[in-house]
Structure 1
Amino acid sequence: MQRTVLLVEDDRDISELVKNHLEQENFTVLTVFNGEKALALLQKNEVDLILLDLMLPKLSGIDFLKQVRTTSLIPVLIISAKGSDIDKALGLGFGADDYISKPFSMLELTARVHAAIRRATQYRSSENVSTSTILHFMELSLDLNTFSAIVKGKTVQLTSKEFHILKLFMTNQSRVFTKEQIYHFIWEDDYYGNENVINVHIRRLRGKIEVDPSNPQYIRTVWGIGYKLGE
């Protein structure tokens, strides 16, 4: 099946380069050069993934992403020359699935695109499972049918990445995971030293399920190694 990618990039040379490469990989690529036109195009077309630059005219990449996330869980891969931790955290915090910093190789970009679409397809397929399965740990429950967490009787909605990270921990309750292992299991891709991606998702997940995120009881840091569930 041919997949459609929406490329939102104001640098026309980069846009043309990425478009030509993805089309050679059998993708249909829709290009647009500012955030406002990207929103209008998205309303008229079904796409499988958005490649999004942060620095856009008229409507910033972050503001565009915030509006997309009010109605859609379509995978979004940020591509940006702004490589600071703040920009990465902002993008992921507002619902981006992953990021790749400029300059990037076309090989890496293609791998990230394929992986993001594959994960989204698997996630949508699993939503059709009718059997409700709930995992438990202390006062935390994870509903595998509704993709939500329940903390002390209160339902907490999770993003797809938060859900799968928590599921990984709750189905391996005695295991310590390195950041590389978490990336491998959740992103199903080669690890490029993307610690910030893991850090942001863990921080946001803790903010949703922990009573005191600064003193977590569920997702514990094992210093010098990674993370584990509970004690």
Structure 2
Amino acid sequence: MQNTILVVDDEEEIRNLLEIYLSNEGYKVIKASNGKEAIEIIDNEDIQLVVLDVMMPKMNGMEVCKKIREKLNIPIIMLSAKSEDMDKIQGLMTGADDYISKPFNPLEFVVRVKALLRRAYYFNSKPENTRDNIITIDSLKIDIVNHIVTVDDKEIQLTSREFDILYLLANNRGQVFSTEDIFSKVWKEKYYQSNNTVMVHMSRIREKIEKYMNGNKLIKTVWGVGYKIEK
């Protein structure tokens, strides 16, 4: 099946550039110039991934990302001319899976698109669920096959990155993973200094899950070392 990618950017040059590179890889590309137009397209088209500029008229990228996350769990890559850590953190906190600062290398961009689509396909194409594919930790259940996380049967909406981090820790209970370990295993990229990506995702996972666990702390921080889930 041909994947359809929605490119949302108020700069026509950027939209056309990304369309060329994505089309060359066999993807169908739909373009939008603002946030409101993007929401209308998502409501009426089958979209597998969204490329979303942060600064746009009518509705900015952060708002669009939140709207998408209310309905769908598809991968979202945010683009921004801003490179400061807080801007990146804000983008990830709204539910984006990846963040790329402008100007960017189009070939690197395509690699990141492919990685996110592979991960989404992997979790959505597995066979029916069996007990062996469910990790249970107190009231938390992680359905590995169907990519579903529940607490007391309440489904928790996690992005693909958040799910990967949770699965890594839950599948290796008792083992401490450093920030560098988590980044290299989940993002499949070399970790670089001053990278707050893992910290932001960990904060989001905790926020989403632990408020339903009656005060129990699922993910433990081992100060100066990393993160773990107790056995």
Work out whether residues 206 and 216 of structure 1, in 8 Å CA contact, stay in contact via their aligned partners in 2. Answer: no
Q: Distance in 2 between matches of 1:162 and 1:140?
A: 18
Residue 106 (structure 1) shift: 1.4
| Alignment TM-score, normalising by the size of structure 1 | 0.84
Q: Distance in 2 between matches of 1:134 and 1:41?
A: 35
Residue 47 (structure 1) shift: 2.0
The answer to whether structure 1 residue 148 and structure 2 residue 145 are counterparts is: no
Amino acid at match of 1:95: G
Residue 111 of structure 1 aligns with which residue?
111
Residue 59 of structure 2 aligns with which residue?
59
Residue 206 (structure 1) shift: 1.8
Structure 2 gap segments, 5+ residues each = none
CA distance 1:26–1:209, shift in 2 (3 Å): closer
Q: Distance in 2 between matches of 1:64 and 1:80?
A: 14
Residue 68 of structure 1 aligns with which residue?
68
Further displaced range: 198-207 or 18-27: 18-27
Residue 29 of structure 2 aligns with which residue?
29
Residue 102 of structure 2 aligns with which residue?
102
Amino acid at match of 1:56: M
Work out whether residues 54 and 80 of structure 1, in 8 Å CA contact, stay in contact via their aligned partners in 2. Answer: yes
Q: Distance in 2 between matches of 1:209 and 1:31?
A: 35
Deviations 1:187-230 (A, max 9, x none): 3x32353832211110111223446xxx9843223344322223
Q: Distance in 2 between matches of 1:22 and 1:225?
A: 40
Amino acid at match of 1:92: L
Structure 1 gap segments, 5+ residues each = none
Deviations 1:75-126 (A, max 9, x none): 1111111223333233222221111111211121011100111111112124
Residue 170 (structure 1) shift: 1.4
Amino acid at match of 1:51: V
Residue 38 of structure 1 aligns with which residue?
38
| C-alpha RMSD over aligned residues | 2.7
How many pairs are equivalent?
225
Residue 79 of structure 2 aligns with which residue?
79
Deviations 1:18-54 (A, max 9, x none): 2222222222222221111112222332222110001
Q: Secondary structure at the match of 1:218?
A: coil
